[in-house]
Amino acid sequence: MSPTSLAGRLMPDRKLGPIVDVIFNGRGALTPPSKSLNRLWLVEQMVPFDAKLCRSHVFDIEMKSDPDAKPYVDAVPTHPVNIEEYDRLWVPPTGVATAATCATAPAQASGFETGGLSLQQAAALVAQARNAFALASRPRKITVRCKGQKGACGSNPRQTLASIDWSALGSVEQVNPRGEPYYVGDRKPADAPWGPAHVQFTFPYAAAGATWMVTVDRKPAIAAARMDAQWAIYE
């Protein structure tokens, strides 16, 4: 059946948009092949979130077999027992979010994670960074430091920062002053009324195959940006 029909079968009580991608048991190289379906993800088509960002619902569905099934005979997962929903935002290359531009988002790899931030807060941080990084007629006073192999920083790091493809953004998250993420159990400082002081933007494979990790210091305007091109493998 089609992805949208599958979503209707698994979640008949939900009003859904078109489903553009289905992930069975995970997609990474570390996921072994299987004839049994234990978990799947359904990705809804992107729609406008605000004037410049698109939004998609993703459904993480855990499957179980019928309680009356006979083990080793017909104990195949047949119905969902737990459904978790989360949202992803995406920056269309045109910079304008419309139904048409949002629908062009790549089905399998579009949208960024918000790292525990609300969608509104993540959207505001992205908008601030895009404005701060852009090369305007009156350049903003931002200190830019860059580190990367194979000439990733270019001859002008400020220009390199301005040319980053925001549609490749993979995540936005609050980090500590050293640019390191907070883990479960870590004590986070209280945010100022204008939000976190240190935020990291991750762009997988956007640095000529490496990943751009761009960490900004906010006061609340962005005063400094640290760019680091890191090599990583994503599963």
**pLDDT, block means (10 residues), the chain with 235 residues:** 91 93 77 75 95 95 80 71 94 95 88 93 96 77 90 93 95 93 84 92 92 96 95 69
Six-digit token string for 184: 């479960």
Task: Out of 77, 103, 129, pick the residue that ends a domain.
Answer: 103
∠ CA 160-91-57, rounded to 5°: 145
- Residue 92 and residue 155 share a domain: no
What confidence score (pLDDT) does residue 138 get? 60
What confidence score (pLDDT) does residue 133 get? 93
* Contact (CB, 8 A) for 56 and 105: yes
Whether residue 112 is contained in a domain is answered as no
**Tally of domains in the chain:** 2
Nearest C-alpha neighbor of 51 from the set 89, 3, 2: 89
What confidence score (pLDDT) does residue 36 get? 73
Whether residue 110 is contained in a domain is answered as no
Q: Which region, left, alpha or beta, applies to residue 96 given φ > 0 means left and ψ of -120 to 50 means alpha?
A: beta
- pTM (global) more than 0.85: yes
All residues at 6 or more sequence positions from 26 whose CB lies less than 8 Å from its CB, including other chains: 39
Rounded CA gap, 208 and 190, in Å? 37
